[in-house]
């Protein structure tokens, strides 16, 4: 699972591992050509998320022109079915899509990491119970599950983030647990136990620090997954109609005939391209992070 161009400098990145945090960050963001592409994509998206509402020429919630206008100097991406400015909608939507993705991924990683480390350290029946439950969540078809939960909870910004977190925490939990098991079998953890270190002590001082790099790369994966899931849910009409995300814009485009009246090049293309660029950016930076923090992982893919 390694990106092209990631393969060559693996030994170089490996030697860079010791505690030079600044150096690590630089090699994650700029170490390989694909990492540079990912960093540039993410930086641009974050910039738009932060300042999009200032750059936007109109308030996307207000009707500012006739409906279904083609792009013009006044409306760069034309107007939608009720005469709102699509360019402004897309700029505002950046923040909604990115925030839901980040919030859902943060919650999912916190829960997943907690479940993973507790299961690996506790072992026995606690491990059994936690992992059975994790596997159940992993086996359920996740998008239909998210749809059902979102439909019952009702469409809103926080509900969408909650639903996504509920369906994506299981994979990081599995991954973190297997890393936790490997840490728990090492001699220094045995020594900590032997010296009388309790459950919480070993958890805090040995297991949690050991899984943090992994949890970080899982977080990036989870964010891109969450952004895609949010887009799908919003596209199915489960997005917050007040705070439109990119997916919600696409839902209205599909429902209000963007294909039949030829408005799709400026109504459908831009939001989808932005979703793809964001997810691609997270994927590329995530791979780079994996390579730098865990050089051994790299050999699997290449």
Q: Which residues bind another protein (CB under 8 A)?
A: 1-4, 7, 132, 135-136, 139-145, 147-149, 151-152, 224, 228, 231-232, 235-238, 247, 250, 253-254, 259-260, 262, 264-265, 268-269, 271-272, 275-277, 279-280, 283-284, 300-301
Q: Give me the least distance between CB of 88 and another protein, in Å please.
A: 20
CB of 283 to another protein, least distance (A): 6
Least Cβ distance, residue 289 to another protein (angstroms): 15
What's the rounded Cα separation, in Å, for the pair 58 and 154? 28
Q: Work out how close the CB of 78 gets to another protein at its nearest, in angstroms, rounded to a whole number.
A: 15
- 99 or 192: CB nearest another protein: 99
- Our CB check for another protein shows the closer of 17 and 236 to be 236
HSE, CB side, 13 Å, CA atoms: give it for residue 242.
5
CB of 220 to another protein, least distance (A): 13
For the chain, the DSSP string reads: ---TTTSTTHHHHHHT-SS-HHHHHHHHHHSSHHHHHHHHHHHHHHHHHHHHHHH-SS-TTS--S-TTPPP-SS-TT-B-TTS-BHHHHHHHHHHHHHHHHHHHHHHHHHHHHHHHHHHHHH-HHHHHHHHHHHHHHHHS-HHHHHHHHHHHH-S-HHHHHHHHHHHHSHHHHHHHHHHHHHHHTSHHHHHHHHTT--HHHHIIIIIHHHHHHHHHHHHHHHHHHHHHHHHHHIIIIIS-SSS--HHHHHHHHHHTTTTTTT-HHHHTHHHHHHHHHHHHHHHHHHHHHHHHH-HHHHHHH-
CB of 98 to another protein, least distance (A): 15
| Cβ closest to another protein, residue 53 vs residue 156 | 156
280 neighbors 252 (Cβ within 8 angstroms): no
End-to-end alpha-carbon separation of the chain, Å? 7
The least distance separating another protein from the CB of residue 280, rounded to whole angstroms, comes to 4
**Closest CB to another protein among residues 194, 260:** 260
Q: Which is nearer to another protein, 32 or 58 (CB)?
A: 32
- CB-wise, 53 or 254, nearer to another protein? 254
- Nearer of residues 94 and 224 to another protein, judged by Cβ: 224
Cβ proximity to another protein, 120 vs 134, nearer residue: 134
Shortest CB 6 distance to another protein, Å: 10
């Amino acid at each position: 699972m390694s990106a092209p161009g990631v393969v060559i400098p693996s030994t170089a990145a490996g030697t860079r591992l010791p505690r030079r945090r600044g150096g690590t960050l630089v090699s994650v963001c700029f170490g390989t050509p694909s990492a540079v592409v990912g960093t540039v994509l993410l930086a641009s998206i974050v910039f738009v998320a932060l300042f999009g509402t200032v750059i936007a020429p109109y308030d996307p919630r207000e009707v500012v022109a006739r409906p279904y206008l083609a792009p013009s100097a006044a409306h760069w991406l034309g107007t939608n079915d009720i005469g709102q400015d699509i360019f402004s909608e897309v700029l505002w939507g950046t923040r909604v899509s990115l925030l839901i993705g980040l919030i859902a991924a943060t919650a999912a990683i916190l829960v997943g990491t907690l479940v993973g480390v507790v299961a690996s350290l506790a072992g026995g029946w606690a491990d059994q119970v936690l992992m059975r439950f994790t596997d159940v969540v992993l086996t359920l078809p996740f998008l239909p599950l998210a749809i059902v939960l979102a439909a019952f909870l009702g469409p809103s910004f926080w509900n969408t983030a909650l639903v996504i977190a509920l369906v994506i925490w299981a994979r990081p939990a599995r991954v973190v647990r297997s890393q936790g098991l490997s840490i728990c079998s090492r001699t220094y953890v045995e020594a900590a136990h032997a010296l009388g270190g309790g459950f919480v002590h070993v958890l805090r001082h040995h297991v949690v620090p050991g899984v943090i790099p992994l949890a970080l790369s899982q977080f990036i994966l989870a964010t891109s997954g969450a952004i895609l899931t949010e887009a799908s849910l919003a596209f199915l009409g489960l997005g917050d109609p007040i705070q439109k995300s990119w997916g919600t814009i696409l839902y209205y485009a599909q429902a209000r005939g963007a294909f039949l009246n030829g408005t799709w090049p400026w109504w459908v293309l831009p939001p989808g391209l932005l979703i793809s660029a964001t997810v691609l950016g997270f994927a590329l930076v995530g791979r780079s992070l994996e390579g730098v923090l865990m050089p051994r992982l790299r050999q699997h893919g290449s």
